[in-house]
């Protein structure tokens, strides 16, 4: 007895679901921290949205809604997410509003998810696992923590020349952070020009391999005269603005200036 024929529409739907499952299976074997994964996650999301029937995804939250949900759970502000992801506060607001032209991808997506303790997979697709797993042993947990050396502002100005902040005996103190990138250094804030963001005595964590200027983010820079400063960058025109309860001047970069790195975290004293 012959098997009953399967309707063409059902076969195509089944083939589409099988294709999406194959994409999902392939993603599980890709190295976690590669840019390839970010691209494939977006491909997977597009495939799933294209081949699954509408009734299967109706009511599912959007990427922006999931991002906002995770941010509120983590008790983070849009500005804090922006600092981690290398974008402005307004850009994060646009992400959460699901404006198509500003959907987070690549490193932006990774660092936002890292700060909020969720997976990029969940942010993009809405499918588990939602939360990051750091292992069950102290050794596994410690593998995700980096002790960042506290250096002087003068030493920070020499990074990339003849100064290695991770050389033995260089750090005055060490601050544990959950980024595990050996391109970080810590600086103690002096003065009041940024006291709304980082009051005097606070510690700022700087990624000295991240020198691409993004309007709204904070940077440490060195002037042509060798003075090292810390301000918030704004574009059009290029300038470094204070964020203070006191009066401080906006600084306009001149020839000979260099960007030391982007501030990715502020540690305030209690």
Per DSSP, the residues of 31-66 read -TT-HHHHHHHHHHHHHHHHHS-HHHHTTPPPHHHH
**Residue 52 has what pLDDT?**
36
What Cα–Cα distance (Å) separates residue 253 from each residue in 60, 159, 188, 241?
A: 47, 19, 23, 11
Read off the pLDDT band of 206 (50, 70, 90).
very high
Contacts of 90 (CB under 8 A, 6+ apart): 216
In this prediction, residues 90-94 reach a mean pLDDT of 88
Q: Give yes or no for a contact between 189 and 198, defined as CB atoms under 8 angstroms apart.
A: yes
In this prediction, residues 31-54 reach a mean pLDDT of 44
With a cut of 70, say whether residue 58 has pLDDT above it.
no
**Residue 87 has what pLDDT?**
80
- Percent of the chain surpassing pLDDT 70: 69
With a cut of 90, say whether residue 221 has pLDDT above it.
yes
* Average pLDDT of every residue of the chain: 75
- Kindly list the structural domains of the chain, giving each domain's residue range(s) and its CATH number in brackets, ordered by start: 8-125 (1.10.260.40), 140-267 (2.10.109.10)
> Ranked by mean pLDDT, which of 35-39, 103-107, 184-188 comes out on top?
184-188
Read off the pLDDT band of 37 (50, 70, 90).
very low
In this prediction, residues 32-55 reach a mean pLDDT of 43
With a cut of 80, say whether residue 179 has pLDDT above it.
no
Place of tokens 């601050």: 175
CA 167 to CA 54: how far, in whole Å?
A: 57
CA 130 to CA 136: how far, in whole Å?
A: 17
pTM comes to: 0.52
With a cut of 80, say whether residue 115 has pLDDT above it.
yes
Read off the pLDDT band of 230 (50, 70, 90).
very high
**Residue 247 has what pLDDT?**
92
**Residue 192 has what pLDDT?**
92
Among 73, 48, 184, 176, smallest CA distance to 132 is for 73
In this prediction, residues 212-240 reach a mean pLDDT of 91
**Residue 100 has what pLDDT?**
62
With a cut of 70, say whether residue 5 has pLDDT above it.
no
With a cut of 80, say whether residue 35 has pLDDT above it.
no
**Residue 9 has what pLDDT?**
46
In this prediction, residues 70-98 reach a mean pLDDT of 86
CA 202 to CA 268: how far, in whole Å?
A: 5
**Residue 62 has what pLDDT?**
87
**Residue 144 has what pLDDT?**
55
In this prediction, residues 87-96 reach a mean pLDDT of 87
Read off the pLDDT band of 242 (50, 70, 90).
very high
């Amino acid at each position: 007895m012959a098997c009953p024929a399967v309707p063409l529409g059902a076969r195509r739907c089944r083939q589409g679901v099988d294709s999406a499952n194959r994409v999902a299976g392939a993603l599980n074997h890709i190295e976690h921290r590669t840019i390839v994964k970010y691209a494939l996650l977006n491909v997977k999301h597009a495939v799933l949205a294209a081949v699954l029937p509408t009734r299967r995804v109706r009511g599912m939250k959007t990427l922006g809604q999931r991002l906002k949900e995770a941010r509120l759970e983590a008790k983070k502000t849009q500005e804090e997410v922006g600092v981690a992801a290398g974008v402005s506060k307004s850009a994060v607001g646009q992400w959460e509003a699901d404006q198509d032209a500003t959907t987070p991808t690549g490193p932006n997506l990774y660092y936002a998810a890292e700060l909020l303790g969720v997976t990029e997979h969940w942010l993009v697709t809405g499918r588990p696992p939602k939360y990051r797993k750091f292992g069950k042993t102290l050794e596994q947990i410690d593998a995700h923590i980096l002790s960042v050396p506290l250096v002087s502002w003068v030493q920070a100005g020499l990074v990339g020349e003849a100064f290695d902040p991770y050389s033995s005996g260089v750090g005055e103190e060490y601050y544990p952070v959950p980024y595990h990138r050996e391109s970080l250094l810590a600086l103690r804030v002096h003065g009041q020009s940024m006291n709304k963001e980082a009051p005097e005595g606070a510690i700022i964590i700087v990624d000295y391999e991240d020198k691409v200027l993004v309007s709204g983010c904070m940077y440490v820079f060195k002037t042509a005269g060798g003075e090292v400063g810390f301000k918030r960058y704004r574009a059009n025109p290029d300038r470094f603005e204070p964020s203070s309860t006191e009066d401080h001047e906006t600084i306009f970069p001149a020839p000979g200036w260099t960007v030391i790195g982007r501030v990715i975290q502020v540690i305030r004293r209690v």
